[in-house]
Amino acid sequence: MIKNIGVFDRVIRLFLSEIFFLLAFFWTYGTLQIVLYVLSFVMLATSLFRFCGLYTLFKINTCPSNEKLMSKFTIGFSVLLFVVIAVVGSYYSTFFTKKFFLEDYNRMNQYYKQTLFFTGQNNRTEAVSNYTNLVKEYSVFYNKYYTYHPFVISKDEYFNEDLILIKDKIISLETDVNSGNLLSTHLEFEIIRPIFQDILKRNNFSMLAVYLVDFHDAMEKVIAGADAKNASEVISVYQEVSDKLKAVEDVANDIEIQTIRQKLEQITASARSGNVEVLPTQGAELKSSFVKVYLKRG
């Protein structure tokens, strides 16, 4: 086999092989991913064997008979550049594919949160509007990420299974949103939230979002007791709720988070003093302060 690839041609092919591999591994899926992997392998193989069949076909030869070897400096610089591309390319590919995934998730999840909120408020007009957008955005999200798994979720063996569970639940609630009992529909939508939570936890996403969801589950127990004017129930679940809120505060403790803490302490103080008549109102205030944070950052 006659060599027809010169030294600098080999180096360029090594870099192209690396770039094609990074694009295939981090950014693509399906047919395009296979094509890029094949191109990466071809560039690597032709560089190692210094032979290109297409060059033979078109009578091209970048390997002159008197070709000089690369200097030690050029070799060292090429190796260094190869490593830099690998490290920097991997880092930024991981960073940006995760960023784009979160943006897609948040765009879809915003409509889920609004649908959840307005079904809980028994507001059918807003519930239907947000549900329609949720169906549309979740379809886009599902179609993209059921096949394409960015690196951040590439090892999550339950991801596709969860996507299917969420899709089936959303679709099944169409009639209920349009004409059913919204309060019971709200409870059905609540089933989706822990699935989203598990996805975030398994793949090490924003702990603030995770802890907000954890706190919400416990907070609902306080609110249930407050709505029933049951002081002992409010007091009995306080420590659990406080601990969940502490986890949120460890991540972020700005004025909005502090307001949630203030409302929680107020409702607990009322329960301990036996002032049960104000519990429903204070429960609503606690939930309102939480919703304000959750809709923005959850």
Domain ranges of the chain: 7-62+70-91, 97-205, 207-298
* The pair of three-digit structure tokens given for residue 2, joined into one six-digit string: 């006659």
Residue at token pair 């879809």: 108
CATH for 97-205 is 1.20.120
Give one DSSP letter per residue of 158-179, joined into a string: THHHHHHHHHHHHHHTHHHHHH
Amino acid 241 reads V
Confirm whether pTM is higher than 0.75. no
Examine domains 97-205 and 207-298 and report if their fold is the same. yes
Residue at token pair 């006659």: 2
8 A C-beta contact, residue 213 and residue 193: yes
Please give the Cα distance from 284 to 226 (Å, whole number).
9
Task: Please list the pLDDT of the chain residue by residue as tens digits (298 residues).
Answer: 678 888 889 999 999 999 999 999 999 999 999 999 999 999 999 999 888 988 888 888 888 777 777 778 888 888 999 999 999 999 999 999 998 998 899 899 989 999 999 999 999 999 999 999 999 999 999 999 999 999 999 999 999 999 999 999 999 999 999 999 999 999 999 999 999 989 988 998 877 877 887 798 889 999 999 999 999 999 999 999 999 999 999 999 999 999 999 999 999 999 999 999 999 999 999 999 998 898 777 6
Architecture of domain 207-298: Up-down Bundle (1.20)
pLDDT at 256: 94
Closest CA to 261 of 277, 279, 243, 278: 243
Contacts of 52 (CB under 8 A, 6+ apart): 4, 5, 46, 60
